[in-house]
Chain A
Amino acid sequence: MQTTIQLILTSLQIGAVYILFSLGLTLIFGVMRIVNFAHGHLFAVSALVVAYTVPWLASGGIPVLPAYLLSVLAGVSVAMALGFLMYIFGFRGFRRDMVGSFILSIGLVLLLDGILLKTFGGAVRPVPEILPGTVTILGAAVTVQRFALCVAAVVITGVLYLALTRTKLGKALRAVSIDHEAAMMQGIPYNRMALAGFMIASALAALAGALIAPVTIVSPVIGADYLIKGFIAVIVGGLGSVPGAILGGLFVAAIETFGAFYFDPSSASIGIFLLVIVVLLVRPKGLLGHG
């Protein structure tokens, strides 16, 4: 029982990051109908900036927690600036062009891979502990940092969900993702919505990267692994569906954690792949997909 609770908590921690990731992917797909493989690099850039600025600020005499918050701000800004550049110079011309946008994003992946390796080097960067200590939940121990990560992810997901269902912008985004022509006829500016969707998704990836930086080892290739899992989560849940992304993220994280504990990590990866095959056999559009 203790093991099960510990495993469930671990899958929630991993799942929290996958959810932030897949929410961004599903949002971009919904609004722009594109598949962005360079999404993982926004995550990596933000994590790298945090990993570099926290030790730098801390050595300047700033206490660790404010230093971390400052560097989160820096990381998210840098990643969002990169996302903005990607949109303006690249994806703006490839809205609703799946193949073209995908090819562009693969080019960006290779380019950014090279550039990140050159600027940051291949070495991994440890981040000093921000929140020391552990908490005990139902008899299972979790470090405070990981617990804070989960809480932050839940809050961000909740805020996004409320924003999408309650605010004018959120409703417009959802309308565009259901039928962009009908939405435009209602006077919703599609161009602005596409940019908004892309930037919100970039912010989600950047926040995920900044949150994960203290609890993992940061390297320039950190985004690739999360990207694959994030995409699998949205395929399972259904591209373009927000609840689907959340469900898929938790699903993938649970299989990964339980599979890695009872078998081994690589069997878990193959298990995730088999899960996708089974889901696609039963529902070719994912569990909660319609479009």
Chain B
Amino acid sequence: MDNLKLPWWLAGTAFALAATFLVRDAYIASVVNLIAIAALTAASLRFVMLMGELNFATAAFVGIGAYATGAAITILNWPFLAALLLGGVVACLVSIVFGYITLRTKGPYFLLIGFAFTEAVRILYSKSSALGGTSGMIGIFPPAALDAWMPTFIMAVSALLIFGLYVLERSDFGKILTAIRDNENVARTVGLDILLCKIACFAAASFAAGIAGSLHAFANNVISPGDFSFLVAAFALAYVKVGGEDNVVGPVVGSVLLVILGSYALGLGGQEHIFYGGAIVLAVLALPHGVTGLAKRGFAALSGRGR
């Protein structure tokens, strides 16, 4: 638990929140919301990457969170905060069951099963008439008093959860995850219950993904099955790879960069897919440690500590 770099976190969060106070334009507010939600989703994806697995079911858990919140608000008339929390809790519970079965597998099997899960869950939404079928759910509004402060609120929740994941990563639990990634059999020989640790990691990440989904539902007011295809996870992966997966700031930097550039490209009538695809391919081929890795090397070279 040493050195959590709290001053940096406080400064960064304060800066992000202060920036949202200045936003009064509806379009910019929506981009800010997108960035905050994207950063949270990417942080969730990266958290499972800590134990060496690529979790494409992230997209499914974002969707489950959004739909749980949507159902709580429009069908059950739950209060705002309870509905928000429900998204995370439901995603977390589903992920425990799903993880219990699938985390016995590794690598390509886990990746592909997450992919199939995302598609299966999406078919379930579109089949369920209570959840609005293929057209989705409408009218998921935050309380009127909070309406003007949505970007600030979303940013704050997102920052809090990313910080939470960071604390977990720096704790002893995070070290266990690294041990599992490096060699899970060695970790098992010292008496660790590997499956339990993997499920815990998966559940924590899915809670964050579920909350990201809830925030998405509140930010957009409308959700439909098409919003939660595997592309959600693919885009999150783009944020992680472009930003750099070696540290927690990477996904945030990647989200800010790609969402802003992507919105700009959309405004120019550009193709979103070509843009994101090109970004991933370039990042993987040219920047193996992402933008933050490049910046780190740059600083190291400048201060004469680099190679």
Contact = CB atoms under 8 A, between A and B. Distances in A.
A270 to B, nearest CB: 5
Interface stretch (A54-62, A108-116, A189-197, A200-208): A108-116
Contact of A110 (B49, B241, B274): B274
A133 B277 CA distance: 43
Nearest to A109: B277
Contacts of A89: 285
Interface residues of B, number: 41
B277 A112 contact: yes
A284 B103 CA distance: 10
Interface stretch (A43-51, A65-73, A99-107, A162-170): A99-107
Interface stretch (B7-15, B111-119, B145-153, B162-170): B111-119
A88 interface: no
A29 B108 CA distance: 9
A269 interface: yes
Contact of A106 (B237, B271, B272): B237
B137 interface: no
B104 A284 contact: yes
A102 B112 CA distance: 11
B111 A114 contact: no
B123 A108 contact: no
A286 B112 CA distance: 12
Given A266-B127, A284-B105, A285-B109, A107 B116 contact: no
A229 to B, nearest CB: 10
A285 B113 CA distance: 12
A277 B276 contact: no
Interface string A211-231: 000000000000000001001
A246 interface: no
B277 A103 contact: no
B115 A231 contact: yes
A139 interface: no
A114 B54 contact: no
Contacts of A114: 271-275, 277
Interface in B15-73: 49, 52, 54
Contacts of A272: 116
Contacts of A261: none
A281 interface: yes
A271 B276 CA distance: 32
B124 A270 contact: yes
B156 interface: no
Interface in A75-97: 89-90, 93
B261 interface: no
Interface in A100-136: 100, 102-104, 106-115, 117-118
A111 B107 CA distance: 24
Given A228-B115, A269-B123, A270-B123, A280 B280 contact: no
A29 B107 CA distance: 12
A242 interface: no
B109 A228 contact: no
B123 A99 contact: no
Contacts of A199: none
B281 A280 contact: no
Contacts of B275: 114
B117 to A, nearest CB: 7
Contacts of A266: 123, 126-127
B234 interface: yes
B108 A239 contact: yes
A159 interface: no
16 contacts: A29-B108, A35-B108, A103-B280, A106-B234, A110-B231, A110-B276, A111-B274, A111-B278, A114-B277, A235-B113, A266-B123, A266-B127, A273-B119, A276-B116, A284-B109, A286-B109
The 4 closest A-B pairs by CB, nearest first: A107-B280, A111-B277, A110-B277, A114-B274
